[in-house]
Amino acid sequence: MTDTTNPLSVQDLTVAWHRKPVIWDVQFDVAPGQLVGIIGPNGAGKSTLLKAIMDLVPKTSGRIEVFGAPWKKNRHRVGYVPQRESVDWDFPVSVLDVVTMGLYGRIGWFRPVRKKHREAAQRALERVGIGALAHRQISQLSGGQQQRTFLARALVQEADLYLMDEPFAAVDAATEQAIVEILREMRTAGKTALVIHHDLHTVADYFDSVVLLNMRVVAQGPTGIVFTKENLERTYGGRLTLLEEATEAMRRRERSL
């Protein structure tokens, strides 16, 4: 693909909840064909950032451009992998049903799921190595298999930009390897992925560039340059930043009124 516009451009993004900012003035661009890690401590607003990009939470201010246009216009080019815990794994559906959901957007309102859609879903399941589990109920899956199911669902979306919320959280080593391989295949195919990641040991190995996030962007750029001990200390620093202190004061003020 010769598309050279940035898959994602986040400008001045602020999201607040009850006046309490969750992320503040976030600004970064993502170049095509990159695997980008979003790194930051718990409560740094990483999931909120992904959700704000997709309009799932209201923005207080800021602008998002996906392939040079507003999210709504290009949402068919974006695939989303939510956190594994965000869904009910006792839901009465099969593994194949869950993967097929990735195609619903393309199938459109009212139209039924057809055989070719199920076949595409089956192929995606085989690609992530759990083709044999297609007809199991999802409650029978292990954590790693659940994550692979979500990954297969992202694959059938055939998106150009993927937003993944902690795909590596609590998976076995084999699944982690499978996910990494698929991410690299995606990159080779010119796709871009924005991945929330927790394991600092593997960041340099997995990602071309990183966004270090703690309410605001602490640093961002190529992993080799930005992913330094100093920047990590600033991201994960134990002390409250002045920003957080101000936020806390604002919130207390509001409560005491």
Partner 1 sequence: MNILSQWDWSYDGMIVLAGVLCAIAASLPGNFLVLRRISLLGDAVSHAVLPGLAAAFLITHSRSGVAVLVGAVAAGLLTAVLTEWIRDTGKVDEGASMGVVFTTLFALGLVMIVQAADSVDLDPGCVLYGVLEATPLDTVAFGTFEIPRVVIVLGSVVVMNAVFVSLFFKELLISSFDPGLATSEGFSARVLHYLLMILVAITAVASFEAAGNILVVAMFIVPPATAVLLTTRLSHMIVLSAGLAAASAVLGHLSALTIPALFGFRSTSTAGMMTLCSGLIFLVAALFSPQTGMIVTWIRRQRLAMRILSEDMIALLFRLEERLPKQSVQIDTLAQGLLTSRLRTRISVARQKFRGYLLVSADGVCLTETGRIAAAAVVRSHRLWESYLVTEGIDAELIHRQAEKLEHFTDRSLRDRLQKQGSKSEIDPHGSPIPEETDRQTTQE
- According to the binding rule CB under 8 A, does residue 177 interact with partner 1? no
Q: How far apart are CA 257 and CA 251, in angstroms?
A: 10
Q: Which stretch binds partner 1 (CB under 8 A): 2-10, 90-98, 185-193, 237-245?
A: 90-98
Q: Which stretch binds partner 1 (CB under 8 A): 108-116, 189-197, 223-231, 241-249?
A: 108-116
Task: Give the helix/strand (H/E) hosting 178.
Answer: helix 173-188
Q: Which stretch binds partner 1 (CB under 8 A): 6-14, 107-115, 124-132, 200-208?
A: 107-115
- According to the binding rule CB under 8 A, does residue 80 interact with partner 1? yes
* Per-residue CA distances from 249 to 117, 243, 253, 256 (Å): 53, 10, 6, 11
- According to the binding rule CB under 8 A, does residue 64 interact with partner 1? no
Q: Do 132 and 162 contact (CB within 8 A), yes or no?
A: no
Nearest to 201 by CA among 175, 176, 237: 176
Tell me which of 93, 203, 226, 243 binds partner 1, using CB under 8 A: 93
Q: Which stretch binds partner 1 (CB under 8 A): 3-11, 88-96, 125-133, 219-227?
A: 88-96
Q: Say how many residues touch partner 1, by CB under 8 A.
A: 31
For partner 1, the closer of residues 112 and 238 by Cβ is 112
Q: How far apart are CA 220 and CA 233, in angstroms?
A: 14
Burial class of residue 230 in the structure, from the number of CB atoms within 10 Å of its CB (0-12 exposed, 13-18 middle, 19+ buried): exposed
Nearest to 107 by CA among 94, 95, 121: 121
Binding mask 131-160 vs partner 1 (x if CB under 8 A, - otherwise)?
------x-x-------------x-------
Residues lying near partner 1 in the complex (CB under 8 A) are found at 51, 54-56, 75-76, 78, 80, 82, 86-88, 91-94, 97-98, 101-102, 104-105, 107, 109-113, 137, 139, 153
